[in-house]
Amino acid sequence: MLYHFRVWGKILYNWTSATLFITTHCLSQPEEHVALFIFGDSTYDAGNNNYINTTDFYRSNYAPYGETFFNHPTGRFSDGRLVSDFIAEFAKLPYITPYLQPGYNQFTDGANFASAGAGALAETYKPGNLIDLKTQLSYFTNLERQLIQKLGDAEAKALLSRAVYLIAIGSNDYAAAVSANSSVSPEEYVNMVNGNLTFVIKEIYNKGGRKFGIPNLEPMGCLPSAKAVNPSNTSACFQALNDLTQLHNKALSEVLQKLQNELDGFKYSLADAYTSLSDKINNPLKYGFKEANIACCGSGSFRGTNSCGGKRLSNKYELCENVSEYVFFDGGHTTEKANEQFAKLMWSGTPNIIGPYNLKALFELF
């Protein structure tokens, strides 16, 4: 997730999508083919923000991002692959292309709509600088039309029905809420966030989507960027942010159970990112890490200042020598190594960490 602790004004905006040219190589897919559609924030953004009119704060298309696997920056907020990239690998799909990438032509494998800085709420951070969740849904609606045009109605509906939908959203909403000292109660705010998420899930369901993979929120107060601004001025986690995160996670679990009871054929995989990352932070050696409090790239306390690459809050930053020893690459994002570990849990984890289905099971369901 991409966030910083600053209050932005609420403004209305209009978004005009970039022109998209789609070419097709195959208009019919085998029945077992399962596409992957990805929504969310910087957790899953593979480069959409490279193609919108935004600032470098919401981009990572510069070094040292991408150094581990791609050997060049791609727009991913990590040193290498994201969780969603590993899920695509496990599903034997190519890396899912950012929807706004010019010349995009892998639509039968899915699309990535995620945008760094995005929230479930349109007013989270500065509207127009990113692609909020409902705007991502509008892009998916556009793609649905293109699928119908290219494949025909029946084939397109079959593809959308077989597909898996990954959604990672909410962290930016709660970081903004903590910064703003909102007059809205925590419970009301959580209901607003999950209400928008529920709306998007139902809209995807109405278009044929049946299988959803959703991680809950990490212990946001324990990220280096949150520790760096902890009002208590200690090395402890920012507890107010963790409390809000846990409130969200409890409500999210209840929302998904309710949707399963209400919507015929709705199936979901809820991954416990909170527990998974908490254990890495508390027991780094258990997972092959040496450092779980300080980020590999950044500046200030815990290297939590969002300056990795020198194009955001400061033009100065520090970079670790061995990224594989670190849980966090920058102040708010985990390393490729940590991403791979969590992706494996999402793919084939047991009910203590993911349920009622894991992603492998969802991909195999028809």
Catalytic positions: 42, 330, 333
Strand partners, 299: 305
Given a contact cutoff of 8 angstroms between Cβ atoms, the answer to whether 79 and 336 are in contact is: yes
Contact predicate 292/309, CB 8 Å? no
Strands (E), the chain: 36-40, 110-112, 164-168, 211-215, 267-271, 297-298, 318-319, 328-330, 333-334, 354-356
- Angle, helix 153-162 to helix 133-151, in steps of 10 degrees: 140
Cβ atoms 17, 95 nearer than 8 A: no
Alpha-carbon distance 43 to 77, whole Å? 7
308 CB-near residues (< 8 Å, 6+ apart): 60, 64, 65, 295, 297, 298, 317, 319, 329, 330, 331
Is the distance from CB of 297 to CB of 330 less than 8 angstroms?
yes
E strand segments, 10-79: 36-40
* CA neighbor of 87 nearest in space, from 112, 62, 65: 112
Amino acid of residue 281: I
N-terminal to C-terminal alpha carbon distance within the chain: 32
- Whether 235 and 227 have beta carbons less than 8 Å apart is answered as yes
List Cα–Cα distances, 228 to 5, 138, 275, in angstroms: 10, 36, 22
The pair of structure tokens assigned to 301 is 């306390």
Distance CA 160, CA 144 (A): 8
CB atoms within 10 A of CB 199: 14
